[in-house]
Amino acid sequence: MLVAGCDVGSLTGKAVILKDGEIFSYSIVPTTPKPERTACNAMDEALRQQNLSLDNLEFVVGTGYGRIKIPFANTEVSELTCHGKGAHYFIPTVRTIIDVGGQDCKAIKVDKTGKILDFAMNDKCAAGTGRFLEVMARTLELNLEELGPISLKSTNQAKITAQCSVFAETEVVSLIADGVEVADIVAGLHDAIASRIMTLVYRVGIEEDLTITGGVAKNIGVVDYIEKRMGIKAKKLPIDPQIIGALGAALIAMEKLES
């Protein structure tokens, strides 16, 4: 049985193909102004890896910000439900999922089958999202991938007090001018993100096991600060955390086909 899930997000498009319940291939592509095109790019890449075509797929579920625009999807499901299922696939004991994406962050509570029970979202402002880090990386003249390792070198974490990312950028510029160590500034930014995320987690309640999905999960600095604030260690996903949404969509595709 071949099914797929396609997650069209604000910064990237992802696709996951499952063969008989196992991951057959997956892709992550940059977003384009047209969600339809992003979806096709992601799907084509995943199909290409296994020499498949769309006709081979028996059911496709779309998710993400652009989910209603995916032309080849049989149905669409919210990304929160999909993240729940996707995380559960690798970590059946997961109960709390934090997803930090490009433009929003979410806290999701699931039951022992990965079914979503409750959720909290922030999609009104950039604070606590990948976008925030992108802007700050630029200001600090670093690559996104460097942020994590650098922050772990911090010895005297700076305090970023601005609530808004626009003002936080100004704050970072003055910290640089004051000669504060870059590692300390980055650590401060990571702490600020963790703080925003904690507000959401609190709404759904902290319950182990915890895992973190989305692109920002690859930043060990942010993960470290989230773990510190929650007082528990997050279980690491054995695969790229950015594809969890698409994986969940594919799992739901399988469920819908079987029913």
Q: 234: closest CA among 145, 107, 132?
A: 107
| Block residue for tokens 């922050």 | 151
Distance from the first to the final alpha carbon of the chain? 14
**Least distance between other proteins and beta carbon 114 (Å):** 10
- Our finding on whether 77 is near other proteins (CB under 8 A) is yes
Radius of gyration of the chain (CA): 19
Distance CA 14, CA 40 (A): 10
81 makes contact with other proteins (CB under 8 A): yes
- CB of residue 123 to other proteins, shortest distance in Å: 5
CB of 19 to other proteins, least distance (A): 25
Sheet holding 105-110, edge to edge: 116-122, 105-110, 96-100, 210-213, 234-235
Candidates 23-31, 76-84, 132-140, 145-153; binding stretch for other proteins (CB under 8 A): 76-84
Counting contacts by CB under 8 A, is residue 34 touching other proteins?
A: no
Question: Residue 4 contacts by C-beta under 8 Å, 6 or more apart in sequence?
Answer: 15, 16, 17, 18, 43, 46, 57, 59, 60, 61, 249, 250, 253
Report the relative pairing of strands 210-213 and 234-235 from DSSP bridges: parallel
Q: Is 133 exposed, middle or buried (0-12, 13-18, 19+ CB in 10 A)?
A: buried
Name which of residues 143 to 182 contact other proteins (CB under 8 A): 161, 163
CB of 220 to other proteins, least distance (A): 25
Output the smallest distance, CB 42 to other proteins, in A: 19
C-beta of 56 vs 161, nearer to other proteins: 161
Residue 89 is a binding residue for other proteins (CB under 8 A): no
Nearer of residues 145 and 255 to other proteins, judged by Cβ: 255
Binding test (CB under 8 A) with other proteins, winner from 58, 78, 135, 209? 78
Q: Contact letters (x/-) for other proteins, 187-226, by CB under 8 A? A: -----------xx--xx-----------------------
The answer to whether residue 80 forms part of the interface with other proteins (CB under 8 A) is yes
Residue pair 191/230 in contact by the 8 Å Cβ criterion: no
Q: Is the peptide bond before 20 cis (omega within 30 degrees of 0)?
A: no
20 lies in the site for other proteins, by CB under 8 A: no
CB 74 → other proteins: shortest distance, Å? 16
Beta bridge partners of 12: 30
Can you tell me whether residue 91 is helix, strand or coil? coil
Residues lying near other proteins in the complex (CB under 8 A) are found at 65, 77-81, 115-119, 121, 123-124, 161, 163, 198-199, 202-203
